[in-house]
Amino acid sequence: MGARTYSIGEAARESGVKVPTIRYYEDIGLLGRIARSDGNRRFYDRSDVSRLSFIRHARELGFEVDAIRTLLKLQDDPDQSCEAADAIAKARLDDVERRISSLKLLRVELKKMMHECASGRISECRVIEILADSSHLHGKLVDP
């Protein structure tokens, strides 16, 4: 008996990646050439499903498609140094740290707005006033 093959629906269920997303990953070259039947039906093998799971997990961690493409190339050549993979992970971590800083500033500003409003009337509401004129926030809370 040959190696187990999966239909696109089965590959989607096994990997946690939706069918249209699998097709997209094929279109942009994150998946290798997928075997097809005479009727042009796709057949995935275990390595394809594992690759889809890898991509899904990397996307959940916020890696961009280009970074994932590079990580997949590195994964395909396991004898090379981890330096490139480490650099990609460090860049992602730096991005997360910047976002955390931005979110902390956002939290402080939202708490301040809510405290200043203190459930009064809309005509006195600092939340509405601040949101209507956020020019004093420009640059502070912008996502990097």
| Confidence at residue 118, expressed as pLDDT on a 0 to 100 scale | 67
Per-residue pLDDT for the chain (144 aa), expressed as one digit of tens each?
457 789 999 999 999 999 999 999 999 999 988 888 888 888 999 999 999 999 999 999 999 999 999 999 999 898 988 999 999 999 999 999 999 999 999 898 888 877 776 666 666 666 667 677 666 555 555 444
- CATH class held by domain 5-80: mainly alpha
User: How much is the pTM?
Assistant: 0.75
- Ordered by start, the domain boundaries in the chain are 5-80, 84-137
Q: How many distinct helices (H) and strands (E) make up the chain?
A: 6, 3
